[in-house]
Structures are given as C-alpha cells and as structure tokens.
Amino acid sequence: MLTWANFISQLFNGLALGALLALISSGLTIIYGTLGVLNLAHGAMFMLGGYAGYVAYQHSGSYIVAVIAGTLFLFIVGIVMERVIMRYFYKRPPEDQLLVTFGLSICFVELVRFFFSSMSKTVPAPKIFAGITNLGFMFYPTYRLAVVGIVAVALIVLFVVLYRTRLGLIVRAGIEDSVMVDSLGINVDRIFMLVFGIGAMAAGFAGIVNAPVVSIAPDMGEAILVQTFVVVVIGGVGSFPGAVLGGLIAGEIICITSMVNPAYAYVMLFAAMTLVLMIRPRGLLGVKGRE
C-alpha cells in the first residue's frame, strides 16, 4: 500500500485540497482582517457555491456557466448579508458577531436542505478535463490536476486584486490599522461591502470548482470551516500569504496521513496547529495588527 506512486498521488491530492483550502481561507482572512468579523457562515458559503453551481449546471449544462453563476451568486449573497445584517454588528462585541454568523450558517444549511433534501448531488467534470491522465509513473484524475490549475489562477487573481489595486491597498492597510484608514477619509462603508462580497465569492468559487471532485451535501461546509480555522491559525490571521502557506500545509498533512491511516488525519492536523501555537502563537506569517 505504501508505494511511491501512491505517495505521489496523495501528494497531488494534498496539493489540490491545499490550494482549495488556501482560497477559502483567504476569503475568511481578508474579511476578518479588514472588517474584524470572523464569519462562521464561511463554510456554509462554500456549500452554497456548490449548490448555486449545481443549479446553474442543471439549467445550462455548461461547466463554465456553472462556475460563473455560482461565483457571482455568492458575491451577491456576501453583499446582501453585509448590507442587511453584518454592518449593524461592527460596533457590537465580537461574541455577537460570532453568534449571528453562526445562526446564519444554520439558516443557509437548513434552507438548502429544505429545497434540495439531505441527499448529496453531483456535478460532472467538464468534458475536456474528464477521465484520467497518464503521468508516466501513475494515473491521476485529470480534473483534479485541473483543480490545482484553476485554483492557482484564482489565487493569482486574488493576489493581483490585493497587491496591485487601490482596493487591495486599502484592504491591506485596513488589516494593519483600521482606525487609521477610517481617519484618512476613505469611504470604508463601500470597501467593507466589497470585501465581504469578495470573501464570500472566494468561498463560493472554491465550492463550485470542488463540486465535481466530491459530491455536494448541505452539511459539507462544517468540516471545511473547521479546516479553514486551522489553516488561518497556522498561517496567521489577516495574512494572505499565511492563508496560502497554511492551506498547503493543512492539505498535505490531511492527505499524507490519510495514506497511512485516515483515522488520524485530523489528529495530525490539530497536532500541527498546536505545535504552531506553541512556537509561534501569532501564526507562521501573522501580522501584528489584528488580534
């Protein structure tokens, strides 16, 4: 069972999962860094992305349409959630923010369960990525290879937005010192709305891209949310590079441990988190601004 081909294939699985976790965690971490809100509904948004894509696929039969529709839908969900609920919670204690996002996550999950039942649904991989690729030393599902590429592109886009645009500059400044950004006369209101939308979009995009790999179910977000927390704790809250690094580390730990004994995958993941907390409580690449 412990063969080289098996090991390398798990390494690839880890890369795919890690890239996915990196993208979802970036969404969580920029929302937290900029707005100071830990969104407990982030896992549910990942799940919603999958379902939005599923519905779009059912109607159009096109993978591309499904990805675009799912992503846009989550952008809108994020903006509506920020405008209708979250903005009234910025001045309230962090516990209230946790409670309300937790409540919303339950609403999202139950809403989906209400309309789509608890049965899992599948979205097929697009034709060009269907089947198996021969990598010479092993066979690997083509779509999983594609996921790594697609998510890498999404991460690069997110990087460009964060590090090469005016919005990104403000977001990064906000993570360092939000009070200062407020006092510079920047329209924080609009920025907050956009950041929440982009964060939700990142989770939703990951949700739909991941849908052909594993089937989607209403409660799939919970496990992802927990893994995302570990990623953020390992990488450092508010750090985009930290989210990417933490995501890859978490993905590899889960997949490589699974190869030996799947039962210990989570145990190893949390052992790694504990180790990081012992050595670098702020996370590997954590910034000092947000606590």
- Which residues of this protein are in contact with other proteins, per CB under 8 A? 32, 38, 85, 88, 94-96, 98-100, 102-104, 106-107, 110-111, 113-114, 118, 222-223, 225-226, 229-230, 232-233, 237, 262-267, 269-270, 273-274, 277-278, 281, 291
Compute the least distance from the CB of residue 25 to other proteins, in Å: 11
Q: Which is nearer to other proteins, 102 or 159 (CB)?
A: 102
Q: Which is nearer to other proteins, 111 or 186 (CB)?
A: 111
Helices (H), the chain: 4-35, 42-60, 63-84, 94-116, 142-164, 166-176, 178-183, 188-210, 220-235, 240-260, 265-279
By the 10 Å C-beta count (0-12 exposed, 13-18 middle, 19+ buried), 230 is classed as: buried
Compute the least distance from the CB of residue 36 to other proteins, in Å: 9
Compute the least distance from the CB of residue 178 to other proteins, in Å: 15
Compute the least distance from the CB of residue 252 to other proteins, in Å: 17
Q: Which is nearer to other proteins, 103 or 149 (CB)?
A: 103
Residue listed under structure tokens 């006369």: 185
Compute the least distance from the CB of residue 251 to other proteins, in Å: 16
Six token digits for residue 166: 């005016």
Quick check: 11 and 255 in contact, CB under 8 A?
Answer: yes
Q: Which is nearer to other proteins, 212 or 221 (CB)?
A: 221
Separation CA 202–CA 212 (nearest Å): 17
Quick check: 34 and 195 in contact, CB under 8 A?
Answer: yes
Beta-sheet pairing, 139-141 with 132-134: antiparallel
Compute the least distance from the CB of residue 197 to other proteins, in Å: 20
CA distances from 70 to 124, 160, 189 (A): 15, 22, 25
Q: Which is nearer to other proteins, 95 or 183 (CB)?
A: 95
Quick check: 23 and 161 in contact, CB under 8 A?
Answer: no
By the 10 Å C-beta count (0-12 exposed, 13-18 middle, 19+ buried), 95 is classed as: exposed
Compute the least distance from the CB of residue 160 to other proteins, in Å: 28
Q: Which is nearer to other proteins, 149 or 262 (CB)?
A: 262
Q: Which is nearer to other proteins, 161 or 226 (CB)?
A: 226
